[in-house]
């Protein structure tokens, strides 16, 4: 491989070696080419310049040389120094003109040539060639840089990058944008960038405000929900940058944003859960305060304390069940059996039956307390405590006016009821006869029959819902979940 040499074509006499000799004195290496064919063979990017005597070219088919010259890479314009010959005059003029125009970068030196003329022309040619090499280096760096940026930009799939013109019509819709929004470049090129904003934001003029801010401040934050091709929503955290020409006029806009939909949804869920937790803690405390306030003040402090701690324990049991996980209601039979167990009711004298049924939080809470009151009451004054007492608890689902109702019956028997005795108007009675209608929109009745207490509780069953979804603030946006 010849590196950095001047090719010299001067086939007649000593002109070739003489020229190489002159060049070498000023530190330029030259290579003598024996004939036109040898010259064409040695042409290449490493070639610094060509010094050729006309007689080496005249009369040859210069097609290969001219073609090579034309096919040079964009940075290359090989300098030719042509030494004139005494050619037959008329034809020479036209041939020379043709040669000069075909080779392009030509310096014509008329013979005889002073060595200073040759060396200065060659130096000038080499300087020009050096500039071409520098340009080659810059071009290659640019290409590498572009390639790197292209790779980065095309592989950043979580980042939507969109370029638009001064009117904000999309001119570049990169693969990240296609991955985030679902639309292909073909679908989006030429559309206004505002078409990725939600209809609400479009109606409020948000796209225009954002562009206005990018125009005046250079950059506008773009942190909001956008719409996607499938009708869903995607949350972008990014910005819109105004791109300017050297004279300061707007060349267009670049919108770049990271898809943080999942993080955003988690944050929203966290906020909802935190608010819910706060709400629940306050509610539980309010409820405990009510239990204390409404405790029957008759009897000893000891009795009051026992009743209160029993009620708080019943409340705690529901809370434990309800907060065990999302989508968790409480099984009705479990509520009933837990309370009977807590009073050590004799299983042989108790019958519990009804369909399997999951109660939603509010109903579970009220019913747990109601069963608790009925059970403690039965242990003290009724069927659980009485040696011959019997207790039947049964329930069913019953449609009423297009809604499913729960009808629960608590029936005690074998209890000696002294004539004239009334049901106690205490906490339990209030709970069943007043709280059930108020909170569950149902009916609660208590009556003493000849053989014991009969209680009926009925209320409409709510369509199933998660405990963690009740009493939860509605999501702030009304975004659809993305299908991805």
Partner 1 sequence: MSFDLHGRAVLVVEDDFYLADDTRQMLEEAGAEVLGPVSAANEALSLLEMLRPDYAVVDVNLGAGPSFGLASTLQARGIPFVFLTGYDLDIVPAEFKGVPCLQKPVDPEKVLVALSTLEIGVRNPPGR
H/E stretch holding 411 reads strand 403-413
Count helices and strands (H / E) in the chain: 16, 17
Q: Which of 283, 309, 353, 480 binds partner 1 (CB under 8 A)?
A: 283
**Residue 278 found at the interface with partner 1 (CB under 8 A):** yes
| SS3 call for 234 | strand
HEC string for the chain: CCCCEEEEECCCCCHHHHHHHHHHHCCCCEEEECCHHHHHHHCCCCEEEEEEEHHHHCCCCCHHHHHHHHCCCCCCCCCEEEECCCCCHHHHHHHHHHHHHHHCCEEEECCCCCHHHHHHHHHHHHHHHHHHHHHHHHHHHHHHHHHHHHHHHHHCCCEEEEEECCCCEEEEECHHHHHHHCCCHHHHCCCEHHHHECHHHHHCCHHHHHHHHHHHHCEEEEEEEEECCCCCEEEEEEEEEEEECCCCCEEEEEEEEEECHHHHHHHHHHHHHHHHHHHHHHHHHHHHHHHHHHCCCCCCHHHHHHHHHHHHHHHHHHHHHHCCCCCCCEEHHHHHHHHHHHCCCCHHHEEEECCCCEECHHHHHHHHHHHHHHHHHHHHHCCCCCCCCEEEEEEEEEEECCEEEEEEEEEEECCCCCCCCCCCCCHHHHHHHHHHHHHHCCEEEEEECCCCEEEEEEEECCCCCCHHHCCCCCCCCCCCCCCC
**Residue 473 found at the interface with partner 1 (CB under 8 A):** yes
Q: Which of 120, 140, 290, 484 binds partner 1 (CB under 8 A)?
A: 290
Q: Which of 286, 313, 316, 327 binds partner 1 (CB under 8 A)?
A: 286
| SS3 call for 298 | coil
Number of residues located near partner 1, criterion CB under 8 A: 23
Q: Which lies closer to partner 1 via its Cβ, residue 100 or residue 287? A: 287
**Residue 191 found at the interface with partner 1 (CB under 8 A):** no
What is the nearest approach in angstroms of partner 1 to the Cβ of residue 417? 29
Build a one-symbol-per-residue string for 291-310: x at contacts with partner 1 by CB under 8 A, - elsewhere: --xx----------------
Q: Which of 341, 438, 445, 484 binds partner 1 (CB under 8 A)?
A: 438
What is the nearest approach in angstroms of partner 1 to the Cβ of residue 431? 8
- Give the footprint of partner 1 on residues 346-385 (CB under 8 A): 362
Q: What is the rounded CA–CA span in Å between residue 303 and residue 405?
A: 36
**Residue 470 found at the interface with partner 1 (CB under 8 A):** yes
Q: Which lies closer to partner 1 via its Cβ, residue 287 or residue 352? A: 287
Binding piece for partner 1, criterion CB under 8 A, among 23-31, 207-215, 254-262, 472-480: 472-480
Binding piece for partner 1, criterion CB under 8 A, among 11-19, 24-32, 222-230, 430-438: 430-438
Q: Which lies closer to partner 1 via its Cβ, residue 150 or residue 425? A: 425
**Residue 478 found at the interface with partner 1 (CB under 8 A):** no
**Residue 142 found at the interface with partner 1 (CB under 8 A):** no
**Residue 279 found at the interface with partner 1 (CB under 8 A):** yes
Binding piece for partner 1, criterion CB under 8 A, among 131-139, 303-311, 416-424, 470-478: 470-478
What is the nearest approach in angstroms of partner 1 to the Cβ of residue 424? 18
Q: Which of 42, 337, 349, 435 binds partner 1 (CB under 8 A)?
A: 435
What is the nearest approach in angstroms of partner 1 to the Cβ of residue 396? 25
What is the nearest approach in angstroms of partner 1 to the Cβ of residue 382? 25
CB 183 within 8 A of CB 161: no
Q: What is the DSSP letter of 51?
A: E
Q: Which lies closer to partner 1 via its Cβ, residue 407 or residue 439? A: 439
H/E stretch holding 309 reads helix 301-322
**Residue 425 found at the interface with partner 1 (CB under 8 A):** no
**Residue 271 found at the interface with partner 1 (CB under 8 A):** no
Binding piece for partner 1, criterion CB under 8 A, among 206-214, 283-291, 312-320, 373-381: 283-291
Q: Which lies closer to partner 1 via its Cβ, residue 149 or residue 438? A: 438
Q: Which lies closer to partner 1 via its Cβ, residue 26 or residue 289? A: 289
Q: Which of 308, 429, 472, 477 binds partner 1 (CB under 8 A)?
A: 472
Q: Which residues bind partner 1 (CB under 8 A)?
A: 275, 278-280, 282-283, 285-287, 289-290, 293-294, 362, 434-435, 438-439, 470-474
């Amino acid at each position: 491989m010849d590196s950095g040499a001047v090719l010299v074509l001067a086939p007649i006499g000593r002109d070739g070696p003489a020229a190489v000799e002159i060049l070498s004195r000023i530190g330029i290496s030259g290579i003598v080419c024996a004939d036109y064919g040898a010259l064409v063979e040695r042409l290449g990017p490493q070639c610094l310049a060509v010094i050729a005597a006309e007689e080496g070219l005249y009369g040859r088919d210069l097609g290969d040389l001219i073609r090579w010259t034309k096919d040079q890479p964009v940075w290359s314009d090989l300098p030719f120094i042509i030494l004139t010959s005494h050619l037959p005059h008329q034809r020479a003029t036209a041939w020379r003109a043709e040669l000069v125009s075909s080779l392009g970068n030509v310096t014509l030196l008329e013979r005889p040539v002073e060595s200073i003329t040759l060396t200065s022309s060659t130096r000038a040619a080499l300087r020009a060639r050096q500039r071409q090499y520098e340009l080659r280096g810059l071009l290659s760096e640019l290409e590498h840089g572009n390639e790197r940026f292209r790779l980065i930009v095309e592989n950043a799939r979580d980042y939507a990058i969109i370029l638009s013109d001064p009117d904000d019509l999309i001119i570049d819709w990169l693969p990240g944008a296609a991955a985030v929004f679902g639309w292909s470049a073909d679908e989006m090129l030429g559309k206004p960038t505002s078409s990725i904003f939600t209809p609400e934001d479009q109606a409020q003029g948000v796209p225009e405000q954002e562009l206005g801010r990018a125009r005046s401040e250079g950059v506008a934050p773009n942190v909001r929900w956008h719409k996607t091709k499938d009708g869903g929503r995607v949350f972008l955290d990014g910005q819109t940058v105004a791109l300017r020409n050297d004279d300061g006029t707007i060349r267009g806009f670049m919108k770049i944003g990271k898809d943080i939909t999942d993080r955003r949804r988690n944050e929203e869920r966290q906020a909802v859960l935190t608010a819910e937790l706060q709400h629940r803690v306050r509610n539980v405390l309010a409820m405990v305060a009510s239990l204390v306030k409404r405790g029957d003040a008759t009897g000893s402090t000891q009795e009051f304390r026992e009743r209160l701690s029993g009620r708080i324990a019943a409340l705690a049991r529901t809370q434990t069940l309800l907060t065990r996980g999302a989508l968790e209601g409480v099984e009705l039979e479990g509520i009933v059996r837990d309370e009977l167990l807590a009073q050590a009711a004799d299983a042989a004298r108790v019958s519990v039956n009804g369909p399997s049924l999951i109660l939603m939080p509010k109903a579970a809470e009220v019913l747990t307390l109601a069963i608790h009151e009925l059970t403690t009451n039965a242990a003290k004054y009724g069927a659980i405590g009485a040696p011959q007492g019997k207790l039947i608890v049964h329930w069913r689902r019953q449609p009423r006016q297009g809604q499913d109702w729960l009808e629960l019956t608590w029936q005690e028997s074998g209890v000696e009821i002294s004539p004239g005795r009334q049901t106690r108007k205490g906490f339990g009675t209030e709970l069943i006869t007043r709280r059930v209608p108020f909170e569950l929109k149902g009916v609660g009745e208590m009556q003493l029959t000849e053989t014991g207490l009969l209680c009926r509780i009925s209320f409409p069953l709510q369509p199933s819902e998660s405990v963690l979804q009740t009493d939860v603030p509605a999501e702030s946006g009304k975004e659809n979940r993305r299908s991805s």
